[in-house]
Amino acid sequence: MTATFDWAQAFSLEGKRALVTGGAAGIGQAIALALAASGADVAFTTHSRPGDETSAAIAAHGRKAKDVHADLGTLDAAGAEALVEKLEAEFGGIDILVNNAGIIRRADLAVHSEEDWRAVLSTNLDSVWYLSQAASRRMQTRKHGRIINIASLLSFQGGIRVPGYTASKHAVAGLTKALANELAPHGVTVNSIAPGYIATDNTTALRADPDRSRQILERIPAGRWGEASDIAGTAVFLASPAANYVTGAVLNVDGGWLAR
C-alpha cells in the first residue's frame, strides 16, 4: 500500500519562497506570476528592464514580491552568495530557484566574437552554477528545495549560427543531472525545462524572417509558436509536491517539435 498523499495540496506552493532570474519579461515573468498564483512569494532578478509590472502582478495575487537588480553576466561565486544571503535575511530564504535568465548571440562561426561567446556562457551557464551552489547550501540544511533550470531545444540539437547558446544549453542539461544526483539524498530536486520555439525577445529575429518562421512552424505539430505561459505550468508542477519524485529530468515543452 502506498503512502497517503494530499492531492488537494498537490500543486499548492503556499508558504514557499521563490527566486526567478530574468523575471521582468518573457518566460521568466510568466513563471514568476504562475508561482505567485499558486501561493508562493516571489523574488526575481532584473537587469536592463524595470520590474514594476512583474511586482504589481505578483502583488495582485496577494503574494510578496521583491525585485533584485543583478547583472548575471558578471556574477561570480561571491556575488551569488551575497545575493542569496540577502534574500535569506530579507525574504526569508529560497525554497524554489528558477534559473531562467539567458541571452543569445547569432553569428557565423568564422566571425563569432570571443566577447559574444563569453557573454553567453557567463549568463546562461555560469550564473546557473553559482546560484545553484549558493541556494542549495541552504536547501540542504532545510532538507527541501527545488531547482528548475531553463534549458532549450538546443540542449538536444545543434541549431544554426548560435554555438555559444548551444554549448551553454547542452551544459545546463548536463549540470541539471549532475546536481540532481548529488542533491536528491538531501530532499532537493533539480530539473530542467526545455522550451520549444516561444514568442519572446530571443526569437524575434527568427519570427521576423519569413522563410525561417515558415520552416519552424511547418515542423511544429501544434502548428504555432509557443507562449511564455506554456512554460509556466511545467515550472509550477516541478516546484510543487506533485513532483516530489521527479529529479534529473529535462522536460521538453515544444508543441511536439522533438517528436517530429
3-state SS, residue 160: coil
- How far is CA 108 from each of CA 111, 165, 170, 203, rounded to the nearest angstrom? 6, 13, 19, 17
How far apart, in whole angstroms, are the C-alpha atoms of residue 167 and residue 116?
Answer: 13
For 143-200, list the strands marked E by DSSP: 145-150, 188-195
Q: Which of 130, 165, 197, 245 is catalytic?
A: 165
Query: The C-alpha cell of 111 is what?
Result: 566571425
Query: The C-alpha cell of 91 is what?
Result: 525574504
Closest C-alpha among 213, 173, 217, 211 to residue 193: 173
Known catalytic residue: 165? yes
If you count them, how many residues does the chain have?
260
How far apart, in whole angstroms, are the C-alpha atoms of residue 220 and residue 162?
Answer: 20
Catalytic machinery residues:
165
